[in-house]
Structure 1
Amino acid sequence: MTINVIKKQSDNNFMEWILDPESKLKQFQDIKTLMKNEYLNDPYDWVVAFSSGKDSTLVLKLVWEMLSELTQDQRHKKIHVISSDTTVETNKLTSFLHKSLKMIAVNGAELGIEVHLVKPRLIQRYFRHVIGLGVIPPAPGKGFQWCTDRLKIAPLNSKMTEILKQQPVIIPEPEYNHRLTLLLGVRLDESIKRAASIKRHTSNDFFGEHDYIPNARVFHAVRDISTDDTWNFLRYKSKELPWGMPIEKLEAMYGGSNIKECPVIRSKKELNKSCGNTRTGCWVCLLGGRKDKMLQELIDGGDESVTYLADWKEFLFDVTFDCRYKDPIKGIKEIEKRVQKHSNKGFLDNPALWHEDEFNRYIDDYKAYERATKGNEKGEYDPGKFSFEMRRMLLEKLFYAQEMAGYKLISDKEVLLIIQEWSNEGYNVALEELKPINHHYDGAVVLKRDWTINEKETTNKNAIFFVEVPLNMPASELAVYHKERQRLTGKSIFCFYSHADFSHAKMVYNKATFLVCKKDILTLEEATSYVYEWLYLEGHITIGMDGKSFTKMTKEAKNAALKHLMIDTLGGAIKSLDERIGSLKNQSVNLKTLSDEEIAKLSRRWSLLQKWIRIEKENHIEQNEKINNKLTVNNKKVEYDYNSVYLTKDGQLVFTF
């Protein structure tokens, strides 16, 4: 539908209100009559979910007028007006909501109206999740919309449950399936999705069951009212709402016509629907995209403070898709517990395994070795939460935005909780160390599910390097060591894990591939040096005999470096040996054609490869005649493992390596 068509419809609706107001008012009078009948016949309290937007304002205005038409004796119960302050709404909207609630509380008391303003608990709040815990915020096509439940639904439902417990016990019980009624300002005219949701959740034209609160029903009183009729009714013959708020103040909250209203309470089925560019959309919300229409209209209207909020949000949007600021380690607490209980050392690390049965133990260790795997169970790129480095940057940039805006964006208690959450992870930062810093962003590095660079979405102009580091550590120990480096240095380099498996030589070790993209790193050698410094040297500062500070390698870093050097040095030899053994497997050798020198050479080779032969799991001996473990060829005796040699039908001996 084009803008011109919408404008024409609005103009026509306005003329209908001018020429025939009685017919337009009838639909609202019918709603008030329905409300009155339900109110008088229902012994239990009502709850109005109030966001201070046009739709919830329409519901409260109708309820207010209905109550005003009743006698004092008929007003036999409370009307609870509940609003939610998510703590991440714009300052303008929060101020408007608080002023509205004060007016409603004062002027609605004689009508039995009681006001409740709820907030999420500290542990439910947005910044505690994103900055404290590193939870990735909901974004278009990315992640579960966890914030709606924690910031709005949970606090509101907690208050509703409290009100429900206060309802009277009536004997005999009335013929109702509910003990509380919730009035929502949702309309079919809002969107196709919203209309479908209303129809799914209503048992008849106006009433349905509440998704979360048992014994509560939902009353969709204004479901059939159009947007134009909503505004024209609110403006009809009055410049003020019943509780005293000027209507022009409400209109100013909407700005442009593209801004829609985000409802106070949503059903479970709607949790993954976008709030997006809504009038009551939180200023941190990414679901509407990088540019926020609501914030931009506030800026265009002269509120310069919102510029800093918009900048912070754009920064958050950008880093949300950047792999460099994701923690590659998931479930570290469980991994650390497992490593403390079981140390899965390799054969070469444990001298106790050097005994006469060393080769059987070696093959057992090869089978049991904890191999590191890439990504999720499908091997796909599946990043974890924000790295600590990014979380600290987000908080420092938030402090900067708060300082420049001139009003609180985060409470002191939430800041302290964030610092405590960091401490719980092993990152100890004092409040005094955190300063307002306007961190800038150099462009995203985005990966596809198959771990290749997403050229379309990657906006970073710096060179991107992949540095592979072999480490002779089982997967759990590797993850624990990586986490120790993060805690020690306060930063992280994104990487993915994998392993090198030499099945013929029965050797296996893990490796980490680091992604490096920084302005001052221009070559692979520089990227490798940067990774090695972070892995082994950086972070542990000590004071020397001369009183000067210097970087000292930790005990864990020294052990890790030695394991790396061992594998890095032997890697070529292991690969060559694995290829040689593989090439000899199932290779037929006719001993009768060999000279004494060739036999001696074969014997020496046989001796050298005994370790690898004897640990082969499968020897491919099928339906062939096994022979004794001693063989005379050209009057020379050759010893062999009977499991590795067999006689073919044409009389040829076959060695299986």
Structure 2
Amino acid sequence: MTFNVIKKQSDDNFMEWILDPESKLKQFQDIKILMKNEYLNDPYDWVVAFSSGKDSTLVLKLLWEMLSELRKDQRHKNVHVISSDTTVETNKLTSFLHKSLEMIAVNGAELGIKVHLVTPRLIQRYFRHVIGLGVIPPVPGKGFQWCTDRLKIAPLNSKMTEILKQQPVIIPEPEYNHRLTLLLGVRLDESIKRASSIKRHTSNDFFGEHDYIPNARVFHAVRDISTDDTWNFLRYKNKELPWGMPLENLEAMYGGTNIKECPVIRSKKELNKSCGDTRTGCWVCLLGGRKDKMLQELIDGGDESVTYLAEWKEFLFDVTFDCRYKDPIKGIKDIEKRVQKTSNKGFLDNPAIWHEEEFNRYIEHYKAYERATKGNERGEYDPGKFSFEMRRMLLEKLFYAQEMAGYTLISDEEVLLILQEWSNEGYNVAREELKTINHQYDGAVVLKRDWTINEKETTNRNPIFFVEVPLNMPASELAVYHKERQRLTGRSIFCFYSHTDYNHAKMVYNTATFLVCKKDIATLEEATSYVYEWLYLEGHNTTGIDGKPFTKMTKEARNAALNHLMIDTLGVAIKSMDERVESLKNQPVNLMTISEEEIDKISRKWSLLQKWIRIEKENHIEEYDKINDKSTLTNKKIEFSYNCVDLTKNGQLAFLF
């Protein structure tokens, strides 16, 4: 519907109120009569879900007027006005809501009105989930809208359940299927989806069942009232609402007429259709897209503090799609428990795969090797939560927004809870270590489901490199090692796992492919060096006997580097062996022509490669050289030692002793 059509309809409606107000007022009088009859015949308490928007205000105004018209002895029960403060709504809206509730509590007491302001518990808070746990926020068309349940539904339902338990036991029981009535300000005129939902969940014209609270019914008193009639009724011969709030204050909360209200949720089917492009949407909400109409209207209206909230939200929106800031490891706690149970059982000590005959022993190891797989069960890109690095950036940027806005965006208690959540994951950060930083963003790197770069959505202009690192650790141990590097360095490099399987040679090893896209990295060699430093060297700082600090490899990093170097160095030789064995399998007649000396050479070479790939204790370098053409090895220089590892400028590892 075009703007001109909407404006004409509004103008026509206004003229109807001017020329024939009695007929316009009749529909509201009918609602009050219905309210009165239901109120007087219902022995149980009523609840009004009040968001301080126009629709819930309309319901409360009609109910207030009805109660005022009753005799004092007829007001036989409590009317509970419940509001939810999600803690992530704009300062303007929160202040308006709190002021409204104060007036309602004071001026509505003699009518039996009791006010309840509910907030999510600390563990339900938005920042605890996104920044503390790394949970990805809901975005348009993707993901479950978890925040609505935690921030609104759970606190409201908890209070309603509490009120329900306080209802009297009546004997004999009334012929009601409910023990509590909830009045909601939802209207058919709001949207097609809203109208459809109301019709699905009402047993008759005005009443329906509550999806979450048993024994509670829902009263859609204003379901048939249009938006224009809502405003014109609120304005009719009144400059303030019954509880004393100036009407102009309510009107000021709405700016553009196209901004709708984010209502209280009653239906499970409404859960993913409830928020987004709304007047009362949380300022952190991404469902309306990167640009927020509500925030922009506040900025245009002169509230400069909201500029910093909008900037933080845009930052969150951008990084939500960036694969570089996603943790590639899922279910790490279960993986760590599994690895811990088997960590003391080495290959030679595991009776399940031990055979006296060396050949069978290696074959069993090949079969039992825990292969790493790429992506989800279908091999698709399916990233996990935010990396710790990004979570810390989000918190520090939030501190900046809070300082610039001049009012609280996150409580000290929630900050401490976030630090505890980080500590539970192995990231120990003291409060004083966190800085107030306006982190900037260099543009997103977005992947498609098939792991290719999404050129349309990728906005980062820096070159993108993929660095494949063979690590030869079972999948679980590889994940645990990766997580330890994240904890040690406080950073993460996004990667995906896979494995290389030489079926004929019966050799297999795992690999991690890292995605690198950074401002100062312009070549693959620089990207490789960057990955190697993070993977083996960074994070473990100590002081030498000369008093100077230096970076020392951890025991786990040294073992991982040895595993990487061994596989990387022997790659050509293993491939050659696989091709040789395949050739012999495909031409069995030629086996008769191979001398016993050649067969023995192949057998010993196979056995030695198996020992090398597992870095077993014996030194096999000289023995391998005797039976192998050195040209099958790579050109990397290898010198073995047990002390340290150095990263050369070209990104290759050299062991120095």
Q: Check 1:348–1:536 CA distance in 2 against 1; reply closer, same or farther (3 A cut).
A: farther
Render the CA deviation track for 1:358-407: whole Å, top value 9, x for unaligned.
Answer: 22121111111100000100000000000000000000000000000000
The alpha carbon displacement at 1:582 in A equals 1.4
Counterparts of 1:34 and 1:45, CA distance in 2: 16
Q: Check 1:543–1:613 CA distance in 2 against 1; reply closer, same or farther (3 A cut).
A: closer
**Any idea what SS the aligned residue of 1:181 has?**
strand
The alpha carbon displacement at 1:613 in A equals 9.8
Render the CA deviation track for 1:521-543: whole Å, top value 9, x for unaligned.
Answer: 00000000000000000000101
* TM-score, reference length from structure 2: 0.90
Render the CA deviation track for 1:237-260: whole Å, top value 9, x for unaligned.
Answer: 101000011111001000111210
Determine the structure 1 residue equivalent to 2:393.
393
The alpha carbon displacement at 1:612 in A equals 9.7
**Any idea what SS the aligned residue of 2:272 has?**
coil
The alpha carbon displacement at 1:571 in A equals 1.1
Matches within 5 A, 1:222-301: 222-301=222-301
- Is 1:190 the equivalent of 2:190? yes
Counterparts of 2:445 and 2:263, CA distance in 1: 35
The alpha carbon displacement at 1:585 in A equals 1.6
Counterparts of 1:183 and 1:341, CA distance in 2: 55
Determine the structure 2 residue equivalent to 1:308.
308
Determine the structure 1 residue equivalent to 2:600.
607
% identical equivalent positions: 89
Determine the structure 1 residue equivalent to 2:20.
20
**Any idea what SS the aligned residue of 1:288 has?**
coil
Counterparts of 1:43 and 1:609, CA distance in 2: 92
The alpha carbon displacement at 1:172 in A equals 0.6
Determine the structure 1 residue equivalent to 2:71.
71
Q: Check 1:446–1:160 CA distance in 2 against 1; reply closer, same or farther (3 A cut).
A: same
Dislocated runs of 4+, deviation >2 Å: 343-356, 588-591, 601-614
User: Does the Cα contact within 8 Å between 1:494 and 1:514 map onto a contact in 2?
Assistant: yes
* 2:575 maps to amino acid: K
Determine the structure 2 residue equivalent to 1:93.
93
Counterparts of 1:517 and 1:366, CA distance in 2: 35
Q: Check 1:350–1:231 CA distance in 2 against 1; reply closer, same or farther (3 A cut).
A: same
Counterparts of 2:217 and 2:350, CA distance in 1: 67
Between stretches 106-115 and 571-580, larger displacement belongs to: 571-580
* 1:246 maps to amino acid: P
* 1:606 maps to amino acid: I
Counterparts of 1:583 and 1:304, CA distance in 2: 74
Determine the structure 1 residue equivalent to 2:511.
511
* 1:58 maps to amino acid: L
* 2:54 maps to amino acid: K
User: Does the Cα contact within 8 Å between 2:80 and 2:116 map onto a contact in 1?
Assistant: yes
Determine the structure 1 residue equivalent to 2:202.
202
Counterparts of 2:356 and 2:216, CA distance in 1: 74
Determine the structure 2 residue equivalent to 1:412.
412
Between stretches 334-343 and 147-156, larger displacement belongs to: 334-343
Render the CA deviation track for 1:556-592: whole Å, top value 9, x for unaligned.
Answer: 101110111111111111111111211222315378x
* 2:600 maps to amino acid: S
Counterparts of 1:260 and 1:234, CA distance in 2: 17
Render the CA deviation track for 1:92-116: whole Å, top value 9, x for unaligned.
Answer: 0000000000000000000000000
Q: Check 1:590–1:418 CA distance in 2 against 1; reply closer, same or farther (3 A cut).
A: closer
Determine the structure 2 residue equivalent to 1:110.
110
Between stretches 120-129 and 542-551, larger displacement belongs to: 542-551
Matches within 5 A, 1:199-598: 199-343=199-343, 356-589=356-589
* 1:225 maps to amino acid: I
Counterparts of 1:28 and 1:46, CA distance in 2: 19
Counterparts of 1:354 and 1:290, CA distance in 2: 58
Counterparts of 1:378 and 1:611, CA distance in 2: 39
* 2:140 maps to amino acid: P
Q: Check 1:166–1:360 CA distance in 2 against 1; reply closer, same or farther (3 A cut).
A: same
* 2:32 maps to amino acid: K
Counterparts of 2:347 and 2:573, CA distance in 1: 18
Counterparts of 2:378 and 2:372, CA distance in 1: 13
Counterparts of 1:33 and 1:611, CA distance in 2: 97
Counterparts of 1:378 and 1:348, CA distance in 2: 34
The alpha carbon displacement at 1:352 in A equals 12
**Any idea what SS the aligned residue of 1:272 has?**
helix
* 1:384 maps to amino acid: G
* 2:399 maps to amino acid: F
Q: Could you say which structure has the larger radius of gyration?
A: 1
Between stretches 55-64 and 568-577, larger displacement belongs to: 568-577
Unaligned runs of 5+ in 1: 615-657
Unaligned runs of 5+ in 2: 608-657
Q: Check 1:563–1:351 CA distance in 2 against 1; reply closer, same or farther (3 A cut).
A: farther
Q: Check 1:562–1:345 CA distance in 2 against 1; reply closer, same or farther (3 A cut).
A: farther
User: Does the Cα contact within 8 Å between 1:346 and 1:369 map onto a contact in 2?
Assistant: no
Render the CA deviation track for 1:160-206: whole Å, top value 9, x for unaligned.
Answer: 00000000111111000000000000001000111111111111111
Between stretches 24-33 and 577-586, larger displacement belongs to: 577-586
Matches within 5 A, 1:136-147: 136-147=136-147
Render the CA deviation track for 1:599-656: whole Å, top value 9, x for unaligned.
Answer: 4x54333333447999xxxxxxxxxxxxxxxxxxxxxxxxxxxxxxxxxxxxxxxxxx
Counterparts of 1:333 and 1:252, CA distance in 2: 50
**Any idea what SS the aligned residue of 1:254 has?**
coil
**Any idea what SS the aligned residue of 1:81 has?**
strand
Cα RMSD for the two superposed structures: 1.8
The alpha carbon displacement at 1:355 in A equals 6.7
Render the CA deviation track for 1:280-309: whole Å, top value 9, x for unaligned.
Answer: 100000000000000000000000000000
**Any idea what SS the aligned residue of 1:511 has?**
strand
Q: Check 1:349–1:560 CA distance in 2 against 1; reply closer, same or farther (3 A cut).
A: farther
User: Does the Cα contact within 8 Å between 1:344 and 1:474 map onto a contact in 2?
Assistant: no
Determine the structure 1 residue equivalent to 2:10.
10
Determine the structure 2 residue equivalent to 1:35.
35
